Amino acid sequence: MTKLKKIPFLVTAEAGTKQTVLTLSGTIRKRYWSDDDCIDAKLVRDQLDNVKNDVTIRLNSTGGDVFQGVEIYNYLKNHPSKVTVEVTGTAASAATFICAGADKVIMNTGTTFMIHRGATYAWGNKNDIEATLKMLETIDESIINIYTELTGQTADQIESWMDEEKWFTANETVEYGFATEVKSKTEHSSANEELKAMVEDAVSAAFAASHTIVAQATEPNSLPETKTKKSLLARLSKKESK
């Protein structure tokens, strides 16, 4: 397994033969030299620009800068690789745009998803306040376009949810089209059982093909190959239980 270059305080990424895993945790904003906990669009690009295999992003973020979020959304949307986002804590506000840019979105049990209207602080005279209001109206329209394209919901429905700052459970996120599936512990267990069965079959076949059982042995469990096989399976079970 090769390692991609690490960006301090932002992400860790590892590349295998089939998949690159990128962990994004923190606030979405432009990174400055002293920042140690943020998700920056440029640095995400730096991590993934040269990646050609499938990408999985493990995401936990309460949101942040809408413009940074939209930039990441469009970058992921146009990335040549298959991109999967797995929400590990929450995807709220601008972090939902990262989900929207993916080909597949997985919600883990207990995770949440939140959408709302754009927000900012305003200062100045009447003209300044009106300009800020118009900017927010434009941002809201852009956000609605992203969500309607993602979910197939009507613009009126999306706007209604944004008005109430709607929080969704993992199952609701899938139900309303923001995510693809919910990953549960049961699914993990089933996958582990299938893997264990495959390994057991492979181990049995390997020993059957490469070892000759000593017929004179009166204690089958004392056979070298049986001990080795049991040792391998015991190690597999121990690893699975961790």
199: exposed, middle or buried (C-beta count within 10 Å: 0-12, 13-18, 19+)? middle
45: exposed, middle or buried (C-beta count within 10 Å: 0-12, 13-18, 19+)? middle
**Coil, helix or strand at residue 107:** strand
Do the beta carbons of residue 109 and residue 185 sit within 8 Å?
yes
The structure tokens 């943020």 sit at: 38
- Least confident segment among 10-14, 42-46, 160-164: 10-14
- Least confident segment among 114-118, 136-140, 181-185: 181-185
pLDDT exceeds 50 at position 83: yes
N-to-C CA span, the chain: 22
Residue 166 sits at φ, ψ, to 5 deg, of -75, 125
Give the residue with greater pLDDT, 74 vs 234: 74
In this prediction, residue 173 carries a pLDDT of 98
In this prediction, residue 131 carries a pLDDT of 96
Beta strands in the chain (DSSP E): 2-3, 13-15, 19-25, 27-28, 38-39, 54-61, 83-92, 104-108, 112-115, 166-169, 181-183
In this prediction, residue 233 carries a pLDDT of 59
* Strand (E) or helix (H) holding 97: helix 95-100
Q: What is the mean pLDDT of residues 33-59?
A: 89
Give the residue with greater pLDDT, 123 vs 18: 123
- What confidence tier does 37 reach under pLDDT thresholds 50, 70, 90? confident
Do the beta carbons of residue 82 and residue 55 sit within 8 Å?
yes
The amino acid at residue 201 is D
* Class of CATH domain 9-116+165-183: alpha beta
The amino acid at residue 133 is L
Q: Where are the domains of the chain?
A: 9-116+165-183
CA–CA distance, 151 with 179 (Å, rounded to integer): 8
Q: What is the mean pLDDT of residues 17-23?
A: 85
Q: What is the mean pLDDT of residues 208-230?
A: 50
CA–CA distance, 124 with 74 (Å, rounded to integer): 33
Q: What percent of the chain has pLDDT over 90?
A: 64
